[in-house]
Amino acid sequence: LVSIKIIRNKITGLPEGYGFVEFVSHAAAERILQTYNGTPMPGTEQMFRLNWASFGAGERHNDPGPDHSIFVGDLAPDVTDYLLQETFRAHYPSVRGAK
């Protein structure tokens, strides 16, 4: 384990319900993802929902082109990842994804 970052609400300071965990190697992260994804969180009835993070700290990409990411905040609750992605893709075809 290298670092953990819990994302907090800018106004209340309370956790937003997600975070990022950085591991020392891809293999270590893969092992945790396979072991814990879909299993119950201790002391709750919620299940862990683990995914690979895009553009992680220090992450290297195989393609030679530059990668740029932006944060879009204060979205309405009904804005989905798909809607966000397609909104930007309509103007910028190089968009790879949105979360």
pLDDT tens sequence across 12-23: 888 888 888 888
The pLDDT of residue 34: 92
Query: Nearest to residue 30, comparing CAs of 50, 48, 60?
Result: 50
**What is the model's pTM?**
0.53
Say if residue 32's pLDDT is above 50: yes
Tokens coding 30: 């893969």
Going from N- to C-terminal start, the domains of the chain cover: 1-55+66-98
pLDDT of 56 reads: 47
- Assign domain 1-55+66-98 to its CATH architecture: 2-Layer Sandwich (3.30)
pLDDT tens-place string over residues 35-74:
999 999 888 888 888 888 865 445 444 554 555 666 777 7
Q: What residue type is 7 in one-letter code?
A: I
For the chain, how far is it from start to end, CA to CA, in angstroms? 24
